[in-house]
Amino acid sequence: MTIEHAPLPYPLDGLAPHISERTMSFHYGRHHAGYVANLNRMVEGTAHEGSAIEDILAAAEMPSALFNNAAQAWNHAFYWNSMSPGRAESPSPELLTALEQSFGSMDAFNARFAAAAVGNFASGWTWLVADPDGLSIVNTDDADTPLRHGRRALLTIDVWEHAYYLDYQNARPAYVDAFIEHLINWEFASTNYTHAT
Ligand code: MN3
């Protein structure tokens, strides 16, 4: 059994004009596909062959090429699902309550998430995670992922330059604003929150 490069949950041009078909063709079709192909090549003939991707990234040494490829394969699939063209505009009542308790208001959450994503100095990721004592915004570097640290991710934005450079060049804040204003799939985040609590 090989790790699947799962189909996108929308067409390559489904997120346009906020994320172009050209960006998606490289990001999904080359970058993500490459991580999945590398991962399958690396586990072939090893004890990890046939394992679930979550088990591989939990067991891989850190840092290692195996961890990087497993985590990037998982992170990107999670990122595609964090966005939707026909998205739910708002969180479930339960998640909205949790966001208000943890951040004060949706506007305050949006501002803090944007500041974290814009300020993430690494090639990395910005996440909303559900911890037992509330919600947090977390930045990770390179391939690192909350999953590795036992934390439950609700949604993520990729802030590696390849995620936005063709569409926004160095204007990461414009990409982050478009993600927050137009792309976040609150239904996905709400479902993840239900499973996390
Ligand atoms: Mn990426």
63 and 99, same domain (yes or no): no
Q: How far is CA 125 from CA 2, 54, 65, in A?
A: 26, 18, 18
The environment of the single-atom ion ligand 1, i.e. residues with CB closer than 5 A, is 158, 160
Q: Could you give the angle at which helices 65-81 and 33-43 cross, rounded to 10 degrees? A: 140
Question: Measured in angstroms, how far is the CA atom of residue 65 from the centroid of ligand 1?
Answer: 16
CATH classification at residue 28: 1.10.287.990
- Averaged over 165-183, what is the pLDDT? 97
64 and 104, same domain (yes or no): no
* Predicted confidence (pLDDT) at residue 1 exceeds the cutoff of 70: no
Residue 32 in domain = yes
Q: 168, 174 in Cβ contact below 8 A?
A: yes
Question: Measured in angstroms, how far is the CA atom of residue 88 from the centroid of ligand 1?
Answer: 23
Question: Measured in angstroms, how far is the CA atom of residue 163 from the centroid of ligand 1?
Answer: 5
Question: Measured in angstroms, how far is the CA atom of residue 104 from the centroid of ligand 1?
Answer: 30
61 and 121, same domain (yes or no): no
CA distance 30 to 26: 5
Residue 12 in domain = no
Residue 14 in domain = no
98 and 188, same domain (yes or no): yes
Mapped onto helix, strand or coil, the DSSP state of residue 36 is: helix
55 and 137, same domain (yes or no): no
Q: What pLDDT digit, counting tens, does each position of 125-152 carry? A: 999 999 999 999 999 999 999 999 999 9
75 and 151, same domain (yes or no): no
Residue 7 in domain = no
- Which structural domain range is residue 37 located in? 21-81
Residue 25 in domain = yes
Question: Measured in angstroms, how far is the CA atom of residue 76 from the centroid of ligand 1?
Answer: 6
130 and 175, same domain (yes or no): yes
Question: Measured in angstroms, how far is the CA atom of residue 14 from the centroid of ligand 1?
Answer: 17
pTM of the model: 0.97
Q: For residue 89, what pLDDT is reported?
A: 78
100 and 187, same domain (yes or no): yes
State how many domains the chain has.
2
Q: How confident is the model at residue 196 (pLDDT cuts 50, 70, 90)?
A: confident
Question: Measured in angstroms, how far is the CA atom of residue 155 from the centroid of ligand 1?
Answer: 14
CA distance 152 to 2: 25
Question: Measured in angstroms, how far is the CA atom of residue 17 from the centroid of ligand 1?
Answer: 18
Which position has the token pair 């994503």?
Answer: 117
CATH classification at residue 181: 3.55.40.20
52 and 98, same domain (yes or no): no
106 and 164, same domain (yes or no): yes
